[in-house]
């Protein structure tokens, strides 16, 4: 019987990071937010709420989840917070997902 050697653990993958980002992207509204922010390519404030058929408070919860995972950055401008994609984290995730 020919046994294959077990595959070596890929040191370039960070399972904790990959799992946390996958969890943050585990909701269609958050995927839509990421797609919108990535295509916009600049920080935006109020337009995110208009993008989705959700209450402002629900959108805020989704934004918090994405921000906690590091996928987006939020900068306070007056009474509003403007959001944009954290390209470093997104690229790290895309690289690791591709390595799977």
Q: What pLDDT score was predicted for residue 5?
A: 46
Q: What pLDDT score was predicted for residue 22?
A: 94
Q: What pLDDT score was predicted for residue 12?
A: 66
* 7 within domain boundaries: no
* 74 within domain boundaries: yes
Number of domains present in the structure of the chain: 1
The CATH number given to whatever domain includes residue 80 is: 1.10.10.10
* 88 within domain boundaries: yes
User: Which residues share a beta bridge with 82?
Assistant: 75
* 9 within domain boundaries: no
* pLDDT digit string (tens) for the chain, length 100 residues: 555 544 555 556 788 999 999 999 999 999 999 999 998 877 777 778 888 889 888 998 999 999 999 999 988 777 778 899 999 999 999 998 888 7
Within 13 Å of residue 15, how many CA atoms lie on the same side as its CB? 3
pTM of the model: 0.80
Q: What pLDDT score was predicted for residue 1?
A: 52
- Where in the sequence is the domain holding 94, given as residue range(s)? 15-99
* 20 within domain boundaries: yes
* 63 within domain boundaries: yes
Strands (E), the chain: 72-77, 80-85
């Amino acid at each position: 019987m020919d046994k294959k050697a077990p595959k070596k653990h890929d040191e370039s993958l960070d399972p904790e990071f990959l799992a946390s980002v996958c969890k943050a992207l585990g909701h269609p509204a958050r995927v839509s937010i990421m797609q919108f922010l990535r295509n916009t390519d600049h920080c935006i404030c109020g337009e995110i709420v208009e993008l989705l058929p959700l209450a402002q408070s629900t959108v805020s919860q989704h934004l918090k989840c994405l921000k906690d995972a590091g996928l987006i950055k939020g900068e306070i401008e007056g009474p509003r917070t403007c959001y944009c994609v954290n390209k470093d984290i997104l690229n790290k995730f895309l690289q690791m997902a591709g390595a799977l």
